Amino acid sequence: MAELRLEHIYKTYKGGVEAVKDLNLTVKDGEFLALLGPSGCGKTSTLRMIVGLEDITSGEMYIGGRLVNRLEPNQRNVALAFETYALYPPLSVFDNIAFCLRARSVPKHEIAQRVRRVAEMLDITDILDRKPAELGGGQKQRVSLARALVRDPDVFLMDEPLSHLDAALRAHMRIELKRLHAQTGRTTILVTHDQLEAVAMAQRIAVMNLGVLQQVGTFDEIYNHPVNEFVAGFIGEPPMNILPTRPVQEGDKLWLAALDGGFRLPLPDALRAKVERSKAQTIDLGVRPIHIETLDSSSEAVDALPATVQTFESLGEEGQLAAQLGDSTVLVVTSPLLELERGDAVKLRFRPDRIHLFDAATQQAL
Amino acid sequence: MEENIRPPFAVRARPWFIALPALLVLIGILYPFLTAIYYSMTAYALNRPGSVDTFVGLRNYVRMFTSEDFLYSTYITFAYALLATGIELTLGLIVAMLLNRDSRLAKIFTPTLIFPMIIPPVIGTLVWKMMMQPSVGILNPMLNAVGLPSLQWAAAPETALFSVLLVDIWMFTPFVALILLAGLRSFPSAPFEAARVDGASFWFTFRNLTLPMLSPFIIIVVVFRLMDSLKMFDIIFAMTEGGPGNTLMTYQLTAYRTSIQFQRLAQGLPYAILLYIIIYITSMYLIKAWGRAQRRAAGY
């Protein structure tokens, strides 16, 4: 058990590709953290540096207060469950799990005991004699987890552990992994590109993009207070609507006017101070599809914006409306019971407490 | 009507055309082989043309098995084959492991592995023979330079086997290394990274992971090298013609000397046929083992 601390970590590959830039991250002892980002964001490079399969170009990494930059993987006491499982093909499941214990010359009876215990935890006692190629995806996954857990690692890392499983198994394993974490209490890092996995399992989420850590926090913090447009757009499904606007002063009221002239929105008082403080020329207005109300076209509310229906799909539990607002298309999650046709006039109301504002120049939240 | 249903000649003949090469090869192999078996049971001598009609049954085989040189011939055939295969396998494995890394040196050395293989065996052997020449060859001065005594090399019975083995090893170790290197390169990297994270030492990984995964390639190499060295002719012949004395008279050399040089064709053939049977049984066994090894390496 240990805390993992990354300080100013850089990773530059041969040829000058900067995979990770100035990464500062602390994973608390016993915490379950998800490293989330799109492909090529540097999350796997980070993971490989933590494990020791990749050199750290600069910066310092501590596990349990011990500087581990120069240590070989086996000296770090970290375990990794590989994306491709990386089972040892010629060895039986038992031998796969026992591999690291044998490599460390653990006494035979203790090996049998520990393998048995972890196999029970993962419910794979019945396949201990089988060979890897005879296993299904879910079983391989469990063996790979068992192999990582059997040695009581200080830090337990998982690289896209669910990406090769089918949907039903994935949902099941999400619960299993969460249970496993609760049961073992290990510092755990999950690398994934799937926000659903991150949200379902991790206590905190670290969002990365283009080698740079964007934001770390609980799902609530990241979802409700994204620090920039990338995080705002990456978290949440369907993604947040981003509309470019300009602040307009009119009397004592401040308005946001769409750059394409599609709408004018009176700025809620709570946001007014932010806009005035930032002095941004153009402001990207962000609002999630579920935070937009669809009103009747006859609505008189001052913040109801007239729009035209492009498409409306009733998906059973919810409806998805794509509406044209100026030149932009706005996605709205609605009740599935609405009856809307292409070309219908509606009014959209952005919930004032759910509006996000970003400086269009820096993409940072105001 | 019936003529219309009948497919055109090209279609009807297709199976025959497809089978033709196999048929030709079969005739090309089977005919001489069966002829050889028949000849081995006659008194055929090349200098007595009529003797091919004298059927003698298994007399030539009895003569071979009771010959005083037979045991030694068996010993030297197997000693040569097993030593050559064993040493080439060990060295080839070491070379392949050394070249299986992403370094500039490996990039430079890997293509040079092909060099000994593009030199015809007889030419290569003759060059070695000159280098090994006891009085004017270059190897003795080199030995002397590091304080070792001169050797008679292929000219002395004690060092003759060592000398021909040296040439065989020089010539075929690169082949072994290339095949094993291809095997190593075909491995997925993840299990080996997992082994590193698991804290396995080089030897532990080598024994438990590399070797089992490499075993199909090793068996392929053994099939090739064992078959080849059991029937090795060119290196031994170019170097010593089987001498000095009968030091290097393997089955193959004995068959050649008896059948061609002494012209007693029928008496030499049993050696060749015995060699064929040995090679056939060994290769059948090895190919079965290869199938097992391949399944094991693939994780079944």
- B289 falls within a domain: yes
Q: Does A319 touch chain B (CB under 8 A)?
A: no
CB contact under 8 A, A133 and B299: yes
Please state, in angstroms and rounded to a whole number, the distance separating the CA atoms of residues B81 and A268: 91
CB contact under 8 A, A103 and B212: no
CB A211 within 8 A of CB A64: no
User: What are the two backbone dihedrals, phi and then psi, of residue B38, each rounded to the nearest 5 degrees?
Assistant: -65, -50
Closest CA to A292 of A245, A349, A339, A242: A349
Q: Does A99 touch chain B (CB under 8 A)?
A: yes
A25 to chain B, closest Cα gap in Å: 22
Around Cβ A40, how many Cβ atoms within 10 Å? Answer: 15
- B143 falls within a domain: yes
- B41 falls within a domain: no
CB B233 within 8 A of CB B242: no
CB contact under 8 A, B193 and A104: no
Specify the CATH number for A241-359; select among 2.40.30.110, 2.40.50.140, 3.40.50.720, 3.20.20.100. 2.40.50.140
CB A201 within 8 A of CB A195: no
- B78 falls within a domain: yes
User: What are the two backbone dihedrals, phi and then psi, of residue A133, each rounded to the nearest 5 degrees?
Assistant: -70, -15
- B29 falls within a domain: no
CB contact under 8 A, A103 and B204: yes
Around Cβ A259, how many Cβ atoms within 10 Å? Answer: 16
Question: For strand A328-334 and strand A319-325, is the pairing parallel, antiparallel, or unpaired?
Answer: antiparallel
Helix locations, chain A, DSSP H: 43-51, 73-76, 93-103, 108-121, 137-149, 167-184, 195-201, 219-224, 229-234, 269-278
- B58 falls within a domain: no
pLDDT of amino acid A31? 92
Q: Does A13 touch chain B (CB under 8 A)?
A: no
CB contact under 8 A, A99 and B195: yes
Sketch the domain layout of chain A as residue ranges: 4-234, 241-359
CB contact under 8 A, A86 and B297: no
- For the record, the structure tokens of A189 come out as 């890092």
Element (H, E) at A292: strand A292-295
Interface residue of A13, A83, A87, A99 to substitute, partner B, most B CBs within 10 Å:
A99
Nearest Cα residue in chain B from A86? B191
ipTM score of complex = 0.80
Least confident of A95-104, B138-147, B278-287: B138-147
CB contact under 8 A, B208 and A91: yes
Q: Distance between alpha carbon A302 and the CA centroid of its chain, in Å?
A: 37
Q: Does B207 touch chain A (CB under 8 A)?
A: no
Residues 6+ apart with CB under 8 A from B196: A52, A53, A72, A73, A74, B205
pLDDT of amino acid B56? 83
Interface residue of A88, A141, A144 to substitute, partner B, most B CBs within 10 Å:
A88
Please state, in angstroms and rounded to a whole number, the distance separating the CA atoms of residues A76 and A69: 10
**Percent of chain B scored above 90 by pLDDT?**
34
- CA dist B136 to B98, B147, B157, B239, B253, Å? 35, 18, 20, 16, 28
Work out the widest C-alpha separation in chain B, in whole angstroms. 93
- How long a stretch of residues is chain B? 300
Residues in chain B with CB shorter than 8 Å from the CB of A90 are 208-209, 212-213, 296-297, 299
Q: Assign B4 a pLDDT band (cuts: 50, 70, 90).
A: low
CB contact under 8 A, A134 and B300: yes
DSSP 8-state class, residue A365: B
pLDDT of amino acid A196? 87
- CA dist B236 to B68, B252, B275, Å? 22, 10, 16
State the distance between the two ends of chain B, measured CA to CA, in whole angstroms: 56
Please state, in angstroms and rounded to a whole number, the distance separating the CA atoms of residues A230 and A240: 10
Q: Does B134 touch chain A (CB under 8 A)?
A: no
CATH number at residue B81: 1.10.3720.10
Residues in chain A with CB shorter than 8 Å from the CB of B298 are 89, 133
Please state, in angstroms and rounded to a whole number, the distance separating the CA atoms of residues B228 and B215: 19
Interface residue of B196, B198, B207 to substitute, partner A, most A CBs within 10 Å:
B198
pLDDT of amino acid A204? 93
Domain tally for chain B?
1
- CA dist A231 to A126, A282, A337, A363, B282, Å? 44, 19, 31, 10, 66
Please state, in angstroms and rounded to a whole number, the distance separating the CA atoms of residues B289 and A136: 27
- CA dist B112 to A92, B186, B221, Å? 39, 20, 19
**pLDDT exceeds cutoff 80 at B121:** yes
Q: Does B277 touch chain A (CB under 8 A)?
A: no
Nearest Cα residue in chain A from B212? A90
Closest CA to B154 of B218, B72, B237, B273: B237
- Exposure string for A325-343, b = 16+ CB within 10 A, e = fewer: bbebebbbbbeeeeebeee
Residues in chain A with CB shorter than 8 Å from the CB of B206 are none
pLDDT, averaged across chain B: 88
| Assigned CATH for A4-234 | 3.40.50.300
Closest CA to B234 of B156, B85, B126, B75: B126
**pLDDT exceeds cutoff 90 at B268:** no
pLDDT of amino acid A1? 59
- B7 falls within a domain: no
Helix locations, B6-50, DSSP H: 9-39
- B133 falls within a domain: yes
Of residues B197, B201, B296, nearest to A79 (C-beta) = B197
Please state, in angstroms and rounded to a whole number, the distance separating the CA atoms of residues A325 and A348: 9
Q: Assign B3 a pLDDT band (cuts: 50, 70, 90).
A: low
> Which residues of chain A, if any, have pLDDT below 50?
none
Please state, in angstroms and rounded to a whole number, the distance separating the CA atoms of residues A260 and A244: 8
Q: Domain span at residue B89?
A: 67-298
pLDDT of amino acid B8? 85
